[in-house]
Amino acid sequence: MKLEYIVKNNQFTINHILQNELQISSRLLYKLIRLKKIFLNGILCDTRKKVLENDVISIDFNYEEDNSNIVPTKMNLDIIYEDDWLLIVNKPAGIAIHPSILHYSDSLSNGIKFHFDSISLNKKIRPVNRLDSDTSGLVVFAKCEYIQECLILQMKNHIFQKEYLAICEGNFDVISDIISLPIARKENSIIERCISNDGQMSITHYEVLKQFNDYVLVKCILETGRTHQIRVHFSAIGHPLIGDSLYGSSSKLIHRQALHCYNLKFTHPITKENLEFFSELPSDLKKLLKE
């Protein structure tokens, strides 16, 4: 897990290139310097040094991290993609991403820890995007903190795109629109969110794909990534997700909110390749569309 950069301009220091060209955060840069993981032309270097054209800066991310806080649990992971830098899995509904008091050993991160152990990767578990426990779909895990930083920056710059499929109650008069409503934590609740003028700007783009008798299949693209954003936004416009007992009502047709992260697009931080991944609708949502 080594990153190499060939210098194109001899006016800058190694520090400048690492922070501005490779976009390594100051926190991570200090850590790499402390661990002695930055090299110039194969030799450990002082990062304040100026470089020459065609010099090679290399960074070794193979150092071990303590991930003993997560219990490894064997799971049948649906791995969509994996390389030395990142892992993408298709998360089923009903499984939390992070361990907690209620999910100490059965979260998705527990399964990822077991997988990392099986390939002798001693790294912290770093999910890049997050899904609610009862939301299914694609989740990216970074295999080192540099990849996590890069992908989070891509999210902020709208390069990392997430598309969801939702099944909502009612029929839409407007087939394609943008929901722009601020979201805040609901007073006296650690879970529930609400629309509030004091909340954070939240933007959801949607397009109706198919109208049924009393519900609709909708494609959603998030411009922002607030907790429960899609669920809160569609409830606010009078079309809560089917089965969403928190922001709408429970359903006899499905035992969770009808929401699935089916498409991810981003640029690979190392290869610079534009990547795109898809996940089919799970069986409970397919069944719902056939009712």
List active site positions. 132
DSSP β-ladder status, 136-142 and 86-91: antiparallel
Rounded distance between C-alpha atoms, residue 102 and residue 121, angstroms: 26
DSSP 175-211: SEEEEE--EEEPTT-SS-EEE-TTSB--EEEEEEEEE
Residue 262 vs residues 107, 154, 271: alpha-carbon distances, Å: 20, 19, 23
Neighbours of 5 (CB within 10 A): 16
| DSSP string across 1-19 | -EEEEE---TTSBHHHIII
The two tokens of residue 237 are 């416009």
Do residues 178 and 271 lie in contact, with contact meaning Cβ atoms separated by under 8 Å? no
> Residue 84: how many CA atoms within 13 Å on its side-chain side?
9
User: At which residue do the structure tokens 């100490």 appear?
Assistant: 104
Classify 21 as helix, strand or coil: helix
